Structure 1
């Protein structure tokens, strides 16, 4: 089976939470979802309560909430454990001045303390600002200084990357270890917890529009912008967890993202815990043996990761895969960048499971375009709109284009999880909307069945001799070649054609670059995609530049590198 041979992949038989997409789509109202929350009756709103405390109150305190693995270390926490620990930590934070509306940054590794700190801060009505553990000094400084953060929870290693001298707003730094690990003016949480009696009625009730969390997202230019979400996001995060993640009573769920990435926060913590799932956390770096072992050891049933990770697992080959029993898996999903058709084929052949692509953004707060487990997958498609979401393809003036035409992907505003604001930047917030549509910055095509096909970012499209070429489809075709592990495609300036297609590739182990091999790869794309889309230049790299958080290929860096080389030659 190859991606080229596939038109669509039918769903496997299963008792899925959403069985009939078309029927549900026609009769769906967000207001009906609100009835699932305790606040619908009590009018007392807090995301942390719905994620943790409610399950304890409902008699599920002994159910496993978090299963943590890091090499030989293993810890298990029940929902009652998480409630008690977050109550205790919230008490300490409150004693040290954290109150409703304050922003609390959390800069911790992928470990249980990170999850507990998130819940504790939210219980106080504070706004959490999760930071990715790979951030260096400038990234940390930009984020904390932008919103004048006063509080930070971190550890003795990561605090070394916090430039306190350049952060005058930062009043208190909490260290998760003992006092011997703290420097002057740092507060040991171990010491504070030991001398503080937990307050069991610690939760601050808020309203649905109260600020919940802030994530910083970067464009191709300018400083990162702070995207703020409100507690109302839980409505959509719960329902997508139920229908897209398909979480059931006994599921063991693993989202591989760090909490510092919006996927880690929303679909590594909020959505699964709103649906009372057992969450798995692997604290180590990517390693095929470690990842497969985690699935086997914890019995993961639902697995949410990124195309980059799946491509890396695919490149490791079947020898590693066959060492492990992955029979617990029943549902796989992908996020972060478009899912190459070849990876879907690998999922079916190697894992005997479909991988379901999902599309959303930091700004949208939750999944908007999805491939549901009960519906047909069209390889290369992002899927169809989630119930309650209206999608259109728009021209440059915001007018709706017919099916089959490339244009700007627009989402009819508004929906429950959409951002509340861009921090201190109303002009930027307003710029996302045209004629009542949220403009994503992605170019896409809508087919006659309502499936959306990603074509590229609006600034990534290649115009060669009048032909518009989406880099993603070329990249997808390149990695179908037996020698290609990864690919990034850009438009290289050309005096005759305007631009030519240039590909940067990483070869699989066992292959060495040669003129014959590169020509073979070029002809493969020409014969299986289109002549105008075949790369006129192919360059082999040891690795492609990627975002640290999500592993997205940074085409803009490839383009900048190419422009710099051209300038040096000239």
Structure 2
């Protein structure tokens, strides 16, 4: 179902003039080389992500500007200027050098959103190390799989999480050093291969000659799960900072006076690209909140720090919707000027709710771990077409190809969403899986694995993962379209849709639904939801079956795991579940 566009006011009437004023002109004039010139770089053309994010600002007046407003889960607060982060990350870089860590060695973090994790990641990049952040919610086996695959040499973790590491350390011969962060000085006895973060930092110098890395030197590994087999290590080079910087500036519209909050954990690529490097390379103050989700706490954080730009995920937005608008009205959120969303397609209902709750629209955008930065987006100056991912970023060429990934399709036809290879933050390989990496490209196109359509004006519309699309009676049904219709029902909080075998239609649509507070599963409610869906969808797209669940399986980054719903429905192997939200 298509909705009327949400029109934007005249640019001259906006409280802040957007960085991207004219999308059409930007597409004509944009050159990645011009973006590189806005960064410092090295004399030989090299780049270092940490230098561009932190050190280059030390030569400017913003060196004493607060870069990080940190609030812990128990309410403790700390502030770090760009100069503070430079000195602390220099110290950690020297700690690594003192441990014998060299350029190219893999340095991983496994901890909550505490300052030491951010400092460690920056310090690792400064010596030319390859950093890899992990979710603190991972179990021992998930940590072992990732550290073992890339033969990580150093792991930074906390006293609280060290027990998980002790279970696997003997299975990780390449892991020479485990650096233990002990916030609060809780009683802890260092064990095999373990050293104290605080003790080493107290002894280290904050003077450092940063490693002059080449733009193609490996910098970051993010592991992403697949349907089968072990997680894949997605590798990005230092050149990725060009994409982080440009998209944070033009898509998130970050400006010098902004206070920015990205709710993502660094274990998810959004939490590094836009929770560390994008904002800081633009010299922006950002908030990091260690606590978990609770609507009132999130609104309190926005009010307390006067957040202006807020970047979150559709799942979080739906959870805020579930909490209702009454809690919104208890807080002063007038500082907000720009809202953005990523992680999975944003249902139109969530966009309309944002307008109601905040007087602002959420701007959805699309990218992947493999792309490294935003590729398709809704922009501050463009009308929003609810349900659309938006238009491709200037400097990025996106298209829809046929099922053989050979021919470009005209507007309105569904096919494979592809990107012309060559943007700066494009992944460089899958660690130890070069053959798999090569299979992701065809005739100069990166095959994203998503299916979509593009309209006459260049707006892209997500249909589903190539392996999620449902073929029912010869009709292709995108699960997102069905899910979007279902969550418009007043009782439905979340919906996940799959295809299940049918002797006549090959597949039929089945929906898994979690309900909002105040509603209970019943046959009557099921019939009402089906009736509601029939008014929104083509007959073949309406769920034949509905199953109520207390909650839907999601990744730690908030994506509904349709493949897990399908595996459980059909009794198939579940594949890698290490990123499953607990």
Q: Same fold (TM over 0.5)?
A: yes
Report the secondary structure of 1:493's partner residue: strand
Report the counterpart of residue 568 of structure 1 in structure 2. Answer: none
Which of 537, 545, 552 lines up with 2:553 in the alignment?
Answer: 545
Which of 72, 76, 83 lines up with 2:86 in the alignment?
Answer: 83
Does 2:254 correspond to 1:247?
A: yes
CA separation in 1, counterparts of 2:486 and 2:465?
A: 19
Instruction: Indicate if the aligned counterparts of 1:91 and 1:202 stay in contact, CA closer than 8 A.
Output: no
Offset at residue 124 of structure 1 (A): 0.8
Instruction: Indicate if the aligned counterparts of 1:124 and 1:203 stay in contact, CA closer than 8 A.
Output: yes
Instruction: Indicate if the aligned counterparts of 2:42 and 2:212 stay in contact, CA closer than 8 A.
Output: no
The verdict on how the C-alpha distance between 1:307 and 1:51 changes in structure 2, with shifts beyond 3 A counting, is same
Report the counterpart of residue 140 of structure 2 in structure 1. Answer: 137
Instruction: Indicate if the aligned counterparts of 2:486 and 2:529 stay in contact, CA closer than 8 A.
Output: yes
Offset at residue 533 of structure 1 (A): 1.2
Report the secondary structure of 2:379's partner residue: coil
CA separation in 1, counterparts of 2:329 and 2:206?
A: 49
Offset at residue 395 of structure 1 (A): 0.9
TM-score by length of 1: 0.96
Which of 7, 10, 20 lines up with 1:10 in the alignment?
Answer: 7
Question: What is the CA deviation profile of residues 346-403 of structure 1, one whole-angstrom value per residue up to 9, with x for unaligned ones?
Answer: 0111111110111111111111001111111111111000001111111122211111
Does 2:333 correspond to 1:326?
A: yes
Report the counterpart of residue 480 of structure 2 in structure 1. Answer: 472
CA separation in 1, counterparts of 2:400 and 2:115?
A: 42
Q: Give ranges in structure 2 of 5+ residues lacking alignment.
A: 573-582
For these two proteins, the number of residue pairs brought into alignment is: 560
CA separation in 1, counterparts of 2:450 and 2:124?
A: 34
Does 2:293 correspond to 1:296?
A: no
Does 2:105 correspond to 1:108?
A: no
Offset at residue 44 of structure 1 (A): 5.3
Q: Give ranges in structure 1 of 5+ residues lacking alignment.
A: 566-570
Report the secondary structure of 1:82's partner residue: helix
CA separation in 2, counterparts of 1:542 and 1:456?
A: 24
Report the counterpart of residue 170 of structure 1 in structure 2. Answer: 175
CA separation in 2, counterparts of 1:46 and 1:336?
A: 27
Instruction: Indicate if the aligned counterparts of 2:53 and 2:281 stay in contact, CA closer than 8 A.
Output: yes
Does 2:426 correspond to 1:418?
A: yes
Report the counterpart of residue 534 of structure 2 in structure 1. Answer: 526
Report the secondary structure of 2:61's partner residue: coil
Instruction: Indicate if the aligned counterparts of 1:156 and 1:182 stay in contact, CA closer than 8 A.
Output: no
Report the counterpart of residue 515 of structure 1 in structure 2. Answer: 523
Does 2:312 correspond to 1:305?
A: yes
The verdict on how the C-alpha distance between 1:61 and 1:42 changes in structure 2, with shifts beyond 3 A counting, is farther
Instruction: Indicate if the aligned counterparts of 1:407 and 1:443 stay in contact, CA closer than 8 A.
Output: yes
The verdict on how the C-alpha distance between 1:231 and 1:5 changes in structure 2, with shifts beyond 3 A counting, is closer
Instruction: Indicate if the aligned counterparts of 1:332 and 1:356 stay in contact, CA closer than 8 A.
Output: yes
Does 2:208 correspond to 1:201?
A: yes
Offset at residue 199 of structure 1 (A): 4.1
Offset at residue 11 of structure 1 (A): 2.1
Instruction: Indicate if the aligned counterparts of 1:34 and 1:40 stay in contact, CA closer than 8 A.
Output: no
Report the counterpart of residue 445 of structure 1 in structure 2. Answer: 453
Q: What is the 5 A alignment of 1:33-432?
A: 33-39=35-41, 43=45, 45-70=47-72, 71-162=74-165, 163-177=168-182, 180-196=188-204, 198-398=205-405, 399-432=407-440
Report the counterpart of residue 433 of structure 1 in structure 2. Answer: 441
Q: Which stretch shifts more, 42-51 or 488-497?
A: 42-51
Question: What is the CA deviation profile of residues 390-418 of structure 1, one whole-angstrom value per residue up to 9, with x for unaligned ones?
Answer: 11111122211111111000111111110
Offset at residue 41 of structure 1 (A): 5.4
**RMSD of aligned residue pairs (Cα, Å):** 1.4
Which of 563, 568, 571 lines up with 1:556 in the alignment?
Answer: 563
CA separation in 2, counterparts of 1:47 and 1:558?
A: 38
Question: What is the CA deviation profile of residues 283-330 of structure 1, one whole-angstrom value per residue up to 9, with x for unaligned ones?
Answer: 011111111111010111111110000000000001211111111111
Does 2:527 correspond to 1:501?
A: no
Question: What is the CA deviation profile of residues 489-508 of structure 1, one whole-angstrom value per residue up to 9, with x for unaligned ones?
Answer: 11111111111111110111
Instruction: Indicate if the aligned counterparts of 1:132 and 1:260 stay in contact, CA closer than 8 A.
Output: yes
Q: What is the 5 A alignment of 1:14-25?
A: 14=14, 15-25=17-27
Report the counterpart of residue 578 of structure 2 in structure 1. Answer: none
Report the secondary structure of 1:183's partner residue: coil
Question: What is the CA deviation profile of residues 510-531 of structure 1, one whole-angstrom value per residue up to 9, with x for unaligned ones?
Answer: 1112212111111111112222
Offset at residue 183 of structure 1 (A): 2.0
CA separation in 1, counterparts of 2:59 and 2:469?
A: 52
* Segments ≥4 residues shifted beyond 6 Å: none
CA separation in 1, counterparts of 2:36 and 2:75?
A: 42
CA separation in 2, counterparts of 1:26 and 1:7?
A: 28
Offset at residue 275 of structure 1 (A): 0.4
Report the secondary structure of 2:390's partner residue: strand
Instruction: Indicate if the aligned counterparts of 2:46 and 2:215 stay in contact, CA closer than 8 A.
Output: no
CA separation in 1, counterparts of 2:440 and 2:341?
A: 25
Offset at residue 192 of structure 1 (A): 1.6
Offset at residue 47 of structure 1 (A): 1.3
